């Protein structure tokens, strides 16, 4: 989708923005929700993403697809939010420096879009996803939850196609390891 | 021997269960339905942008916004009234009528004793 917003009058730009919000809110919210795994935080991130979009809409020349651009902003904003949240935790910095950070392996997040009979398994999977490194997490979420092909993921994350594929494989292997460790501990 | 075989079979059974659970967990998000944000996102966005534009305003508009607050406006009004009362009081405008009259009278007396009458001019002492 090509947007030449610098020549569009203000009212038309407002309409354009409203259309973008209405048509893409689900996409942005869902991406943010899968990354931060908290509905209230995902709402805040969605708002922040669209505010950034509004501010930068005039600069957007349509070199990339609108969806790709939105996904990139959503992923970056979500990870920035997580970094900020980690930094704000009391004593978080000292705990990280001295290696005292405790890993949270309690499944807590229920994605509202998961079928009822798969809720428990999905909860454990989301706990495992939260332990992945940022780039692997982004690649996995965009591929498995958003259903994007590796080529588009490569464009969003600004990496090569081979790197995107490699991220997918490493993410799946790491998830398998985390899940096995979890079930070995908790499954009788 | 039988115990060893039993242990081995239970371990392999457990491992296969764990593998099955892991596969189930990995496949649990297949066919996931996208979640929807709370309604009226656009309205909330407009409100958030309005708040941001208020925060980004110039120093003068920030001052104006601060003064526009009811609590601040009433406090300033009260202070102004108090200052006015103090000034009026210190100038004596708020003192009682009696005092004002006596002051006027005393002033009149002061003036009266300085008046030179015809009698005074005709009967001047040597």
pLDDT in tens, chain A (188 residues): 444 444 455 666 778 888 999 999 999 999 999 999 999 999 999 999 999 998 888 777 766 788 999 999 999 999 999 998 887 775 655 665 565 555 556 778 999 999 999 999 999 999 999 999 999 999 999 999 999 999 999 999 999 999 999 999 999 999 999 999 999 888 76
Residue A18 neighbours by CB distance under 10 Å: 13
Looking up tokens 């949240």 gives A85
B interface with A, Cβ–Cβ < 8 A, is 14, 17-19, 21-22, 24-29, 31-38, 41-42, 44-45, 48-49, 52
In a domain, B52, yes or no: no
ipTM: 0.78
Cα gap A53→A57, rounded to integer Å? 5
What are B16's two structure tokens? 């296969």
Closest in B26, B32, B52 to A113, CB measured: B32
**Span B68-73, average pLDDT:** 89
Give me the number of domains chain B comprises. Answer: 1
pLDDT at res. B90: 85
What are B105's two structure tokens? 């009278």
pLDDT at res. A70: 94
In a domain, B20, yes or no: no
Q: For residue A116, give the chain B residue with the closest CA.
A: B28
Domains with residue ranges and CATH for chain A: 1-98 (1.10.1740.10), 103-188 (1.10.10.10)
Closest CA to A29 of A48, A55, A1: A48
In a domain, B74, yes or no: yes
Q: Are B34 and A30 in contact (CB under 8 A)?
A: yes
pLDDT at res. A76: 96
**Span B85-111, average pLDDT:** 65
pLDDT, tens digit, 9 for 90 and up, residues B6-56: 666 777 777 888 999 999 999 999 889 999 888 888 888 888 888 877 776
Name the minimum distance, in Å, from the CA of A145 to any CA of chain B: 7
Q: Are A44 and A84 in contact (CB under 8 A)?
A: no
Whether chain B has a CB inside 8 Å of the CB on A115: the answer is yes
pLDDT at res. A101: 52
* DSSP assignment string, A139-177: HHIIIIIS---HHHHHHHHT--HHHHHHHHHHHHHHHHH
Cα gap A158→A155, rounded to integer Å? 5
In a domain, B105, yes or no: yes
In 3-state terms, what secondary structure has residue B28? coil
């Amino acid at each position: 989708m090509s947007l030449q917003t610098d020549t569009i009058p203000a009212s038309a730009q407002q309409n354009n923005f409203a259309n973008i919000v209405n048509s893409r809110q689900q996409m942005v919210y869902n991406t943010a929700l899968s990354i931060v795994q908290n509905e209230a935080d995902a709402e805040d991130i969605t708002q922040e993403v669209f505010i950034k979009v509004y501010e930068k809409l005039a600069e957007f020349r349509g070199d990339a697809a609108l969806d790709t651009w939105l996904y990139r902003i959503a992923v970056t904003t979500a990870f920035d939010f997580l970094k900020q949240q980690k930094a704000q935790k009391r004593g978080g910095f000292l705990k990280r420096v001295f290696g005292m950070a405790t890993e949270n392996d309690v499944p807590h997040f229920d994605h509202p879009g998961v079928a009822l009979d798969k809720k428990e398994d999905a909860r454990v999977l989301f706990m495992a996803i939260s332990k992945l490194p940022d780039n692997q997490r982004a690649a996995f979420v965009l591929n498995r939850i958003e259903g994007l092909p590796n080529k588009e993921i490569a464009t969003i994350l600004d990496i090569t196609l081979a790197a995107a594929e490699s991220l997918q494989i490493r993410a799946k292997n790491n998830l398998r390891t985390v899940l096995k460790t979890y079930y070995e501990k908790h499954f009788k | 021997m039988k115990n060893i075989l039993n242990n081995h079979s239970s371990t392999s059974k457990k491992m296969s269960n764990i593998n099955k659970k892991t596969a189930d967990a990995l496949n649990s998000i297949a066919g996931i339905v996208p979640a929807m944000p709370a309604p009226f996102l656009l309205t909330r966005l407009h409100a958030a942008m309005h708040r941001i534009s208020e925060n980004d305003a110039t120093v003068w508009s920030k001052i104006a916004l601060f003064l526009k607050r009811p609590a601040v406006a009433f406090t300033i009004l009260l202070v102004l009234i108090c200052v006015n009362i103090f000034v009026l009081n210190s100038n004596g405008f708020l003192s009682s009528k009696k005092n004002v009259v006596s002051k006027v009278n005393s002033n009149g007396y002061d003036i009266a004793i300085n008046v030179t009458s015809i009698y005074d001019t005709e009967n001047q002492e040597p």
